[in-house]
Structure 1
Amino acid sequence: MSSLSLVVWPHQTTSLETQCWAAFRDGKHDEAVSLLPLVTEPNKIKRTYGLIWKNTSLLHLSLRHGWLEVTKDLITKYHCDPHECDDGAQACLYWAAEGNHVDTMRYLIDVCHCDPMATNNKGETVLHCAIDHIDIVKYLINEKHCDSMTVNDEGQTPLHIAAYYSNSAVLEYLLSTGKCDPLAKDYKGRTPLQLAKHNWFSEVAHSSKLMQIHWIDKERLTQFIMATQDDETGGFSDRPGDMVDPFHTLFGLAGLSLLGNRQIKGVNPIFCLPQNVIERLELDYELLKE
């Protein structure tokens, strides 16, 4: 009779660096602060945030959460670079704007001398990317005198972006400044007015309750989605720690898009396809009613 051998797998541990980055990623302030002094060279800890934000640093995540004191420590004590970019050429200002934190943006601009007119790899200024946040937009225009007619690589001004995403508060404010041209055309010949008339967000908002998501805590839901990602191989799962799969990866990306994340191409919530694909195929959601 052959004897059975017992195979003992080595105990897998998570490095302090990975634990620290995960705490920053998930917005766990106290845990992040306690782990920070324990890791070596925090300025070199970088991972992929989601599927597309590669080279994301602790400083980027701290700014996104609006942790001003942690941000100051990362820059002054741990030698993080306030001008560093992720792989999408998005500098620290973009991350602060994405989180809607005027105080951290003011620190970066006034103390660290970050340029609010710097562009990412899409030619977008931070004003283009802050179009969801009226306080950020007002700060950049009123206090920092950012040029609201600057165009991105598609020839679109911030007014084009606000019109496409139907952000009425920002639209009204931009027009009230008298510094935006509502008839300016992008490189495809589209004006902000045309984008506002034809964009799918407006159509869906008027035709169903699908886009009535104002009651959702966007920050907490975004944190949950990002916590389900696989930092090494990519993809999303149904809950943190579970194995990723293509379905929840699709749901995660669609959810981030519907929550207003500008780094993901717009996802049509009816067809669950990128909006640029819907436009290229000339699909109409009215077809679903036939």
Structure 2
Amino acid sequence: MDRLIKPDVQAVDVLFARRQKCGRAFKLTNLMHTMSVAVCLTTSEPLLFSISKPFSIIPPLTTSSFTLVLNEPCDQPPLSSPPCTILVRSSMLPTGKAHHDDLCRLFSKPGPHIFKDATLPISFVGPHVAEFLLSPSSMSLEINFLFSKAISWCDESQLTSLLRLAVDNGKSHFLSALIEAGADVNDRGSEGESLMLLAVKSGNADAVQILIESGYAIDNDIDRSLHVAAAMNWVDILEILCLGYPDINLNSVNSQGQTALHLAAVHGQVEALQFLVSIGSEVDVTDRDGWTPLHYAAHEGHIETSEFLLHHSVYAKYAVTKEGKTAYALAVEKGNSSLYDTLHLGDSLQRAARIDDVHTMKSCLAQGANINRTDQNGWTPLHRAAFKGHMESVKLLLNNGARIDVVDGTGYTALLRAVEAGHVQVAMYLVAHGAKASLKSLKEMVPSDHMECFKNHHSTLVNPSDRD
């Protein structure tokens, strides 16, 4: 026979409560049919735990109850790895009677008369233990076994609260255990905030993925996860959401009528903008005040964001809010001078160069217009003035630093545009100021009827280094 006593549990689970005395009862049964058994119970941490009857006598085939008690109430469960234990020892007692001192002497000396019947681990369980394991201070105690034991004593409501805490604290490795134990993945809390939104706010991509795989149901009418991810520039989370929910509404709006693209523009999040636009978000959409994403980018002074939106927008540059303001007007209102050229002055300079409005050109340049900015066709203001044959505009542009050999979208310089349009004097002026050209290249790129105009000026038009 290897033991005299059988415990009714394999471990003693103590339901922990903060600042309260707590303990757990368990039972031992004498397996002997005719003889009483003396029992000695000791803990591996006697300063931490007490046992109601450390020495006891159990009659034949009888069961006795014992209680493990945590000596002092505490704020945090005294967890340890490995856990504290209760050692159960026994000895046959033919007389069936003994005093306390006799039992002390009996178990004080090891020998074959002493049986080691069981070693019972002490586990702390319940929601307070799980909360502690989910807190940032428990980094050294993130033990899956302890957590699984703790939550086994929690009901659905407690599990769901713990799930919210795990998401909020970034403990994504505990989410699956909580969901499998019965936590409600679609819970929205007392204030209507979903677990998904909480995960996105925390920037926890792993939690977002786990919630999707665990059956979180997105509601396009009230979910604003895209908005939060866009505002924070969390492109990885945007990708996970869009892959997880193919029917997600990219243009859903918040209470201000703003889409996720609006929020990305407000915060100048270019990567988020690029991703959202690439999968179909509307660039020219307006909120309830008539603001497009470009209006917000201009108002906040986000240069790169504004340039991206302009490149992908149909009419946002000219759209007006309900107060009648363009993106340019908002930039001026906020003093975001670095955006003046992008939003207005560049267009004005191009238009003035086209109609030879030298006065407006001087005004645009004085306000900071980029003299070499290109339009959608790659034309600079110099291209446009040269093509129209406006000598005064060409002179003004060159005198103010215009680059003379910029090529447009089809590979033409301002000189070639002047030649193409038959403006001999402008072409000669450009060559005299450094424009590079050879008669051969001109013949290849310019209609033959216009070339006749230049044959008599070959010696002037062609750079000395290009002459055969």
TM bucket (normalised to shorter chain) is 0.5 to 0.7
User: By percentage of residues, which structure has more strand?
Assistant: 2
Q: How far does residue 83 in structure 1 lie from its aligned partner after superposition?
A: 2.8
How far residue 147 of structure 1 moved from its aligned partner, in angstroms, is 2.0
Q: Is the alpha carbon distance of 1:47 and 1:169 closer, same or farther for their aligned partners in structure 2, counting shifts above 3 Å?
A: farther
One-letter code aligned to 1:181: A
Alpha carbons 1:160, 1:192 under 8 Å: kept = yes
State the AA in 1 paired with 2:187.
K
Which residue number corresponds to residue 146 of structure 1? 281
Deviation at 1:66, TM superposition (A): 4.0
Q: Deviations over 1:230-284 (max 9, x none)?
A: xxxxxxxxxxxxxxxxxxxxxxxxxxxxxxxxxxxxxxxxxxxxxxxxxxxxxxx
Match of 1:20 in 2: 163
Distance 1:105 1:64 in 2: 12
Asked whether the equivalents of residues 205 and 236 of structure 2 are also in contact (C-alpha less than 8 Å), the reply is yes
* Cα offsets for 1:76-104 (capped at 9, x unmatched): 32x2112356xxx4433223323322233
> What does the per-residue CA deviation read over 1:162-217, in whole Å, with 9 as the maximum and x for residues that have no partner?
112222220121123353432311001111112112238x59xxxxxxxxxxxxxx
Change (3 A) 1:82 1:90: closer
User: What is the Cα deviation at residue 28 of structure 1?
Assistant: 4.9
- Of the candidates 247, 250, 263, which is equivalent to residue 116 of structure 1? 250
For 1:27 and 1:180, how far apart are their aligned partners in 2? 42
2:238 match: 105
Q: Secondary structure at the match of 1:169?
A: helix
Q: Secondary structure at the match of 2:273?
A: helix
SS of the aligned residue for 1:116 comes to coil
Correspondence for 2:320 among 185, 200, 204: 185
Q: Say which SS state the counterpart of residue 186 (structure 2) adopts.
A: helix
Instruction: Report the TM-score when normalising by structure 1.
Output: 0.53
Q: CA deviation at 1:121?
A: 2.3
User: In the TM superposition, what is the alpha-carbon distance from 1:37 to its structure 2 partner?
Assistant: 4.8
Letter aligned with residue 150 of structure 1: V
* Alignment CA distance shift 1:45-1:177 (3 Å): closer
Q: Name which of 214, 217, 224 aligns with 1:91.
A: 224
The Cα of 1:135 is off from its aligned counterpart by 0.5
Residue 196 of structure 2 is aligned with which of 59, 69, 77? 59
Are the counterparts in 1 of residues 220 and 249 from structure 2 also a CA contact under 8 Å?
no
Q: Return 5+ residue gaps in structure 1 as ranges.
A: 1-8, 49-54, 204-290
User: What letter matches 1:61 in structure 2?
Assistant: L
Say whether the 8 Å CA contact 1:148–1:180 is kept in structure 2. Answer: no
Q: Which amino acid in 1 is paired with 2:242? A: I
Conservation of the 8 A alpha-carbon contact between 2:220 and 2:252: no
Given that residues 93 and 114 in structure 1 are in contact (C-alpha distance below 8 angstroms), is that contact kept between their aligned partners in structure 2? no
Q: Which residue of 1 aligns with 2:262?
A: 128
- Give the match for residue 189 of structure 2: 46
Residues 1:90 and 1:199: Cα distance change in structure 2 (over 3 Å): farther
CA contact (8 A) 1:63 1:92 kept: yes
Give the Å deviation of 1:23.
Answer: 3.9
1:158: Cα distance to partner?
Answer: 0.3
Residues 90 and 121 in structure 1, CA contact (< 8 A), matched pair in contact too: no
CA distance in 2, matches of 1:193, 1:33: 50
How far does the alpha carbon of each residue in 1:23-60 deviate from its partner, in whole angstroms, 9 at most, with x for none?
42344545666655556213214254xxxxxx111111
Name the structure, 1 or 2, with higher relative contact order (CA <8 Å, separation 6+).
1
CA distance in 2, matches of 1:163, 1:198: 10
Displacement of 1:16 in angstroms is 4.8
- Separation in structure 2 between the aligned mates of residue 106 and residue 19 of structure 1, nearest angstrom: 27
Q: Identical aligned pairs, as a percentage?
A: 22
Matched residue SS, 2:193 = strand
- 2: distance between equivalents of 1:114 and 1:135? 19
Deviates more, 1:164-173 or 1:36-45: 36-45
Contact 1:162/1:171 (<8 A) preserved: yes
Q: Give distance in 2, aligned partners of 1:32 and 1:76.
A: 11
Assess if the C-alpha contact under 8 Å between 1:159 and 1:180 holds in 2: no
Larger Rg over CA atoms: 2
1:259 is matched with: none
Counterpart pick for 2:208 among 71, 75, 91? 71
Which residue pairs with 2:404 in the alignment?
A: none
Find the aligned partners of 2:243 and 2:185 in 1 and give their Cα distance: 24
Partner SS, residue 46 of structure 1: coil
Unaligned runs of 5+ in 2: 1-17, 21-74, 76-127, 132-157, 338-468
Partner of 1:81: 217
Please point out which of 285, 293, 303 is paired with 1:168.
Answer: 303
Q: Which deviates more from structure 2 when the two are superposed, residues 65-74 or residues 108-117?
A: 65-74
Distance 1:99 1:37 in 2: 31
> 8 Å contact 1:82–1:108 — kept in the other structure?
no
CA distance in 1, matches of 2:323, 2:308: 25
TM-score by length of 2: 0.35
Contact 2:212 2:244 in 1 (8 A): no
Aligned counterparts of 2:166 and 2:314: Cα–Cα separation in 1: 42
Tell me if structure 2 keeps the 8 A contact 1:23–1:31: yes
**Residue in 1 that maps onto 2:329:** 194
- Counterpart of 1:186 in structure 2: which amino acid? T
CA contact (8 A) 2:258 2:288 kept: yes
Change (3 A) 1:180 1:22: farther
Q: How many residue pairs get matched?
A: 183
